[in-house]
Amino acid sequence: MDDLFGKPVKSGIVAIVGPPNAGKSTLLNCLLGQKISIVSPKPQTTRNRIVGIVNDSEYQVVFLDTPGLHKAREPLNIEMVRVALESLAEVDLVLFLVDISLPLPEKIQQKRNEEVSEYLKKVESPAIMVLNKVDQIDRKKVLPFIDAYAKLFPFQAVVPISALTGDGVDVLLDEIVTRLPLGPRYFPEDIPTDASERFLCGEIIREKVFLLTGQEIPYSTAVLIESFKEDTDKKLVTIHAAVVLEKNSQKGIVIGKGGKKLKSIGIAARKDIEALIGTKVLLKLWVKVKKNWSQDERFLKELGM
Ligand SMILES: Nc1nc2c(ncn2[C@@H]2O[C@H](COP(=O)(O)OP(=O)(O)OP(=O)(O)O)[C@@H](O)[C@H]2O)c(=O)[nH]1
């Protein structure tokens, strides 16, 4: 078999799908051993489809982190669901991830199961069910979940994990790799993602806005990287970025008293960006208001969405 990047190995494309907040980005970061997809306790923080690549001498797994599947109402959400469903059609394997840590009333659990079945009917690729956040529940409670999900759909496997502690993630990776065909590597061995550094920096800043502004700032926050310049000897990267909000009233929350909040967002983001790109970073952040940006198709394109 011809191959751009060395001898044939077990290789394939694996989509990580599931409801918002299930832990998809955390799992991707855990599999990759580094921060690529942003994580926050607020649902729907993942907007773009991000490729993470796990390499080994024997395999290459290309992961897609899809936005949480949920009912689409706003144009932004319609786009998110389209991206999520599109990625199901072209993959070798689907990981369907759910959070089993929250005790759900029977009716809600039943409704959730129906939703899972509904999504899975659209999946033509083989699927592995991943039960996440087992660190939060008693071990004895995991088995009934495994049984219940095994009955729901002909999964290739049902694997309990904690994406946060890494518990069970090696078992999951084994289950994935054994099911992939022998084929070419899709990417060279030394890159963990095809998302640009510029894009990942925007995602890191957005994560810090979410984490540091508490519940006040809604999901409609975007980060626009206006410039990303590396000096000639590659010792410093200067980034200008705008935190884009929908309402004037949100400005004060992000900027804080005397600019304090924005400063701490900048400091936290700069540290993560430096760790990601391996050079010193000068990060200049400002806040701008663009009413209804999430309804504005052109602006969404500018954001790379
Ligand atoms: N205790 C525990 N928390 C977890 C685990 N996995 C993820 N979380 C937390 O769950 C929250 C959501 O995680 P994400 O990885 O952002 O979830 P997601 O599915 O990518 O979310 P969306 O972007 O909304 O689709 C974060 O606060 C994570 O730290 C886990 O195994 N155990």
Distance (Å) from CA 270 to ligand 1 centroid? 22
Distance (Å) from CA 291 to ligand 1 centroid? 29
Residue 237 has pLDDT above 80, yes or no: yes
Q: Name the residue with higher pLDDT: 304 or 206.
A: 206
Distance (Å) from CA 214 to ligand 1 centroid? 16
Structure tokens at 304: 């790379």
Query: Which among 101-110, 138-147, 189-198 has the top mean pLDDT?
Result: 138-147
Residue 301 has pLDDT above 90, yes or no: no
Let me know: does 208 contact 267? Beta carbons within 8 Å. no
**Ligand 1 neighbourhood includes 160 CB (under 6 angstroms):** no
Distance (Å) from CA 273 to ligand 1 centroid? 21
Cα R_g (the chain), whole angstroms: 20
What's the pLDDT tens digit per position in 66-79?
655 444 444 445 55
pLDDT at 246: 87
Distance (Å) from CA 166 to ligand 1 centroid? 13
**Ligand 1 neighbourhood includes 133 CB (under 6 angstroms):** yes
Q: Name the residue with higher pLDDT: 136 or 21.
A: 136
**Ligand 1 neighbourhood includes 166 CB (under 6 angstroms):** no
> pLDDT-derived band of residue 263, with 50, 70 and 90 as boundaries?
very high
Q: Please, what are the domains in the chain? A: 9-183 (3.40.50.300), 197-302 (3.30.300.20)
Q: Which atom of ligand 1 is nearest to the CA of 67?
A: 25
- Ligand 1: residue whose CA is nearest its atom 7: 23
pLDDT at 105: 74
- What percent of the chain clears pLDDT 90, i.e. is strictly above it? 25
**Ligand 1 neighbourhood includes 93 CB (under 6 angstroms):** no
> DSSP letters along 177-237, please?
HHTSPEE--SS-TT-SBSS-HHHHHHHHHHHHHHHHSTTSS-S--EEEEEEEEE-TTSSEE
Strands 236-245 and 59-65, by their bridges, are unpaired
Q: Which residue has the tokens 């993560």?
A: 272
Query: Using CA atoms, how far apart are residues 80 and 91, in angstroms rounded to an integer?
Result: 17
Is 196 labelled as part of a ligand binding site?
no
pLDDT at 86: 58
Is 77 labelled as part of a ligand binding site?
no
pTM assigned to the model: 0.63
Task: Please calculate the CA angle 295-41-119 and round it to the nearest 5 degrees.
Answer: 65
Q: In this structure, what DSSP letter does residue 134 have? A: G
Residue 185 has pLDDT above 80, yes or no: no
Query: Using CA atoms, how far apart are residues 83 and 165, in angstroms rounded to an integer?
Result: 29
pLDDT at 260: 95
Is 65 labelled as part of a ligand binding site?
yes
Least confident of 11-15, 46-50, 58-62, 70-74: 70-74
Residue 278 has pLDDT above 80, yes or no: no
